[in-house]
Amino acid sequence: MRYFADVSKQDRQKIGQALRDIRHFGDRLQVAIARFIEKTELNLFVGPVSVVRGSGSVQLENHKRARKRVEKGTLDLKEAARHVRLNIARETIDTGGQRGIEGTLVHEGKHALDFARMLSTASLGDVAKFFNPTAFQKEYSAHLTAALYLRRRGGEYADEGIRLGLLKESGSDVSVDPEGIRDRLSRNYGLSPERPGARLETASDPPIRPAGPKISGLF
Ligand SMILES: [Zn+2]
């Protein structure tokens, strides 16, 4: 990752520790997410919740540049990461502790991977291969990824998952709560399978489109 210049040394240490813990405790996808953040030039920003708009968020670093790059042709995931920015709220680090940072990095990291995949598949120029999930699909999958992480991590992490409605408890068993996740998406985001929200291509304005073959000079 490439930190914004004003991210403090302490914040970098805490984020670095959270990524190592995700690699240590996570499943294959969660480990892949942590590696993706660590090993690429993904842009990492820390700022107030009013700017980040939530405990974390993901956006294109510069949508015009990303669009231009997609039009130029094949872009792999690693290169696509350079155009993606992951934001973490100051408040997540200060009040959420390591648990909050890990949960946010797993959730937002899944989004970041989705953004990079959207750009990379758009660059192939084939509409059938274009990865372009709806907001509902994107949020459901990030919530599910975070839920599975909190469950694996156990203890206070699992308690947090239960409190958020991502996990449920029956007896001594803790499992993912698909209905709880849907309730949360409906309540907090106004998203449901019937109201799936915008597709990921609209992260850019105008939207990212698969770069078609250039037709010129036919007539
Ligand atoms: Zn999200």
What is the DSSP annotation of 49-77?
HHHHTSSEEEEES-HHHHHHHHHHS---H
Q: From the CA of 109, how far away is ligand 1's center (Å)? A: 9
Q: From the CA of 165, how far away is ligand 1's center (Å)? A: 15
pLDDT at 215 over 60: no
Give pLDDT tens digits for 82-96: 999 999 999 999 999
For residue 186, being part of any structural domain is answered with: yes
Q: How many domains does the chain have?
A: 1
pLDDT at 38 over 70: yes
Q: From the CA of 129, how far away is ligand 1's center (Å)? A: 23
Q: Print the domain residue range for 168.
A: 2-203
For residue 176, being part of any structural domain is answered with: yes
Model confidence, pTM: 0.95
| Residue 47, H or E segment | strand 43-47
Task: Report, as an integer, the average pLDDT of 160-164.
Answer: 96
Mean confidence (pLDDT) of the chain: 95
For residue 213, being part of any structural domain is answered with: no
Q: How far apart are CA 165 and CA 215, in angstroms?
A: 51
Model confidence at 211, pLDDT cuts 50, 70, 90, reads confident
For residue 219, being part of any structural domain is answered with: no
For residue 40, being part of any structural domain is answered with: yes
Q: From the CA of 68, how far away is ligand 1's center (Å)? A: 26
* Per-residue confidence (pLDDT) for residue 217, from 0 to 100: 55
For residue 218, being part of any structural domain is answered with: no
For residue 211, being part of any structural domain is answered with: no
Q: From the CA of 132, how far away is ligand 1's center (Å)? A: 15
Q: From the CA of 146, how far away is ligand 1's center (Å)? A: 10
Residue with tokens 């000079």, as numbered in its chain: 217
Q: From the CA of 90, how far away is ligand 1's center (Å)? A: 17
Residue with tokens 């399978």, as numbered in its chain: 193
| Residue 3, H or E segment | strand 2-3
Model confidence at 219, pLDDT cuts 50, 70, 90, reads low
